[in-house]
Structure 1
Amino acid sequence: MATRIGKGHRSLNLTLRKELNLYANVRPCCSLTGYKTRYDNVDLITIRENTIGEYSGLEHQVVRGVCCREIAEKHPEIKYEEVVIDNCRMMLVKNPALFDVLVMPNLYGDIISDLCAGLIDGLGLTSSCNIGEGGISLAEAVHGSAPDIAGKNLANPTALMLSAVTTLRHLELHGKADRIQNAILNTIAEGKYRTADLDGTSTTDFTKAIIDHL
């Protein structure tokens, strides 16, 4: 969903997150077998706060629901560490294997999850899921709508398809989710058909290869 350019138009994604109280945006990021990047050991998740913070105009409002330290004290088996954001970015670039789960406020989570996507070669590969109370979830690709490449056979549908996989898992349709995910990952690993951002040539050929794997 593209947000209209100009004043007075609110992001539709932000509207849905706010109206449905989707307070957590879970953004996994993993190295892909068969596709070589600078790192081959990326396996982490960014959990981004979704409904308060800078994007909501609440930069200076104190919210009593912040509870990372309290939760960490109840689970001593989980290693908990606080890192200043600039040092966190440096550590991620030097050695992403140092991290497993990153819990971030709204703005930092947005920035860091894009950085993580760059570690595995871009936003075209990263999915996400917005989660709220009562079992509500909304899966979406991390990237924007990219109208500048519409109709040019350049877009990478991987992030969107993996977001659909996330929805199937939320519905406990794990068999169907596995089939689609395996088809995507096997197509990328084989390397015969890939999208332009993965050193390939065609979105349609890549998509057809995934369908053939199903």
Structure 2
Amino acid sequence: MLRSAVKTLRAPVSVVQSRTLTSGAFAPKKYGSRYTVSLIPGDGIGAEITDSVKTIFKAEAVPVDFEQVDVTGVSNATEAYHEAVRSINRNKVALKGILYTPVENAGHASFNVALRRELDIFASLVLIKNIPGVQTRHTGIDMALIRENTEGEYSGIESSPVDGVVESFKIVTQAKSERIAKFAFDFALKNNRKRVTAIHKANIMKQADGLFRSTIKSVGESYPSIEYNDMIVDNASMQAVSNPQQFDVLVMPNLYGTILSNIGAGLVGGPGLVPGCNIGTEHAVFEPGCRHVGLDIEGKHLANPTAMILSSAMMLRHLGLDGHADRISKATYDVIASGSTRTKDLGGNATTEEFTKAVLGRLETL
């Protein structure tokens, strides 16, 4: 079993309950009382925000040693990618920035998607919740977005049988739909959540999304204490921006999860605030919940490291290091709530390093 797919954080953003969310052997690499964790900084602002985590971990004497692998999605750096896979296979746990995927036809396939598929990291969890000190249009938001990572529209099976025609296959299987459904309902049960909503487009894609929808509903019958409902994805997008308080746990195929996680991030203050993780049967990869690379602000020291810091706190809970996770997350929330040190995305002018220094200062007073 996975040792920890996460416990509830004693701070504004809750994190997954930790036990028995997936099956399979799981043993993070540990030497004595220290853990070795793969670190993939990623592209864009990745190095800056992972440096923030490394600085905080060092100051807090967190018993984690990073095995860093520098992978870039900007070029087809396949050997570095394969080394990252080997590293995660060794260590079972990783902290990761976002790898850039070129849009151009000449670009390679997404390393982010390939990594999840190759390691069968099938469940993506993104936590969308208001953070005290961040003023937003809506309050009372507390959503957990769970998406299936390995199939759907991201199957990556495309071909061009004749010029001017492209076929792109969406794959939905009962087995993987059932697996993500069990993950979602287990998460809801272990975190005292009340409702699971399946997001779909079964009115049009009657077989593919129809299978996904019916499978989620069928699995839900084994969880009588959890309410089940479903919603068409376009309506869910509208509801998310008009009445997000109605949502609790949402489970969906990959593409819909990408869209709704970005909508959710916009609701609570932006991608710099939203933590996330990807859980499989044998591996856990922690990364910001919104897949924003930040190429436009790379090297300008403007990035908000909060999402990466909170993702690292989720990782610490996964490793059973709850005390360190509590202190780091509380210090981060306290800095945001105080309003004295804000990065540009939150209306301030603090640099990434200044925000990190403020967190360190708060840690000294806890």
Category of TM-score, reference length = shorter chain: over 0.9
Partner of 2:291: 143
Give the TM-score, by structure 1 length. 0.94
The one-letter code matched in structure 2 to 1:41 is G
CA distance in 2, matches of 1:44, 1:183: 23
Partner of 1:43: 142
Residue among 271, 278, 296 paired with 1:130: 278
Partner of 1:24: 123
Partner of 2:256: 108
Name the Cα RMSD after superposition: 1.4
> Unaligned regions of 5+ residues in structure 2, if any?
1-41, 44-72, 75-101, 158-168, 179-215
CA distance in 1, matches of 2:107, 2:350: 37
After superposition, the C-alpha distances for 1:165-205 in whole angstroms (9 at most, x for unaligned) are 11101111111001110011000000000100001102222
Partner of 2:171: 61
Q: Which has the larger radius of gyration?
A: 2
- 2:126 and 2:145 in contact (8 A); partners too: yes
CA distance in 2, matches of 1:114, 1:41: 18
Partner of 1:157: 305
- 1:194 and 1:202 in contact (8 A); partners too: yes
Higher deviation after alignment, 138-147 or 94-103? 138-147
CA distance in 2, matches of 1:29, 1:209: 24
Q: Which SS does the other structure have where 2:285 is aligned?
A: strand
Aligned pairs, how many? Answer: 213
Give the TM-score, by structure 2 length. 0.56
Structure 1 residues 60, 9: closer, same or farther in 2, change over 3 A? closer
| 1:165-176 aligned within 5 A | 165-176=313-324
> Unaligned regions of 5+ residues in structure 1, if any?
none
1:147 shift after superposition: 2.1
- 1:124 and 1:143 in contact (8 A); partners too: no
CA distance in 2, matches of 1:153, 1:183: 21
Q: What is the identity percentage for the equivalent residue pairs of Structure 1 and Structure 2?
A: 45
